Amino acid sequence: KIDANIRVLIPVIVFILMISMHIFLTRTRYGIAIRATSMDLDMASSLGINSEKTISIIYSVGSCLGGFAGILVAAYYESLSFDIGAMMGIKSFIATIIGGLGSMYGHFVGGFILGISESLAQAYISSAYKDALAFIILIIILFVRPAGLLGKKIEKGG
């Protein structure tokens, strides 16, 4: 059985991973290539960035982070199941939409908003409503700011 201190260690590990990813994406050659490719694939290719290699790196890094997240979730719940992360995956998608799809840091903001609101809902309303609250917040944000909180404003065209 895994020690209960892992629950304290998990946020520290996640914070270190976030800082590492920030440094990787902003200070390394591959990170800058990833950001350029994500913004404009054709322009990045015309500037000499090997887009196919960069996309392979993106999938590799994403897969590694997903696997590492699975290890942390399994350690937190002290069990393993095929659907253990289904709701977490949905909520991470919701957090990304809330934060804004065009923003590099939007998913952090969306995750923070979801985490705080769910904790407050569990404490003051009922834990039965914490999952529904994520969808309610998503609907409200999409009505107010369709591009998300940090996303680029959507222009109405004709």
Domain count, the chain: 2
Looking at the structure, do residues 107 and 46 belong to the same domain, yes or no?
no
pLDDT at residue 97, as a whole number: 93
On whether both 105 and 32 belong to a single domain, the answer is no
Asked if residue 115 and residue 61 are part of one domain, the reply reads: no
pLDDT at 154: 65
110/147 Cα distance (integer angstroms): 12
Q: In this structure, are 91 and 156 located in the same domain?
A: yes
The CA distance from 146 to 101, in Å, is 10
Q: H or E stretch including 39?
A: helix 29-39
> pLDDT tens digit string along 27-62?
999 999 999 998 889 999 999 999 999 999 999 999
Instruction: Return phi, psi of residue 41, to 5°.
Output: -60, -45
pTM of the model: 0.70
Evaluated on CA atoms 125, 129, 130, 136, the torsion sign reads negative
Task: State pLDDT tens for residues 6-21.
Answer: 888 999 999 999 999 9
Q: Same structural domain for residues 45 and 90?
A: no
Contact 98, 110 (CB under 8 A): yes
Residues 6+ apart with CB under 8 A from 82: none
* Shared domain check, 112 and 68: no
Q: What is the pLDDT of residues 60-69, one digit of tens each?
A: 999 999 999 8
| Residue 151 and residue 113 share a domain | yes
Instruction: Determine the structural domain holding residue 64 and report its residue range.
Output: 1-80
Residues 18, 93, single domain; the answer is: no
Closest by Cα among 7, 8, 11, 29 to 19: 11
pLDDT in tens, 68-112: 988 888 888 888 888 888 888 899 899 999 998 877 788 889 999
Angle, helix 106-124 to helix 130-144, in steps of 10 degrees? 130
pLDDT band at 157 (very low <50, low <70, confident <90, very high): low
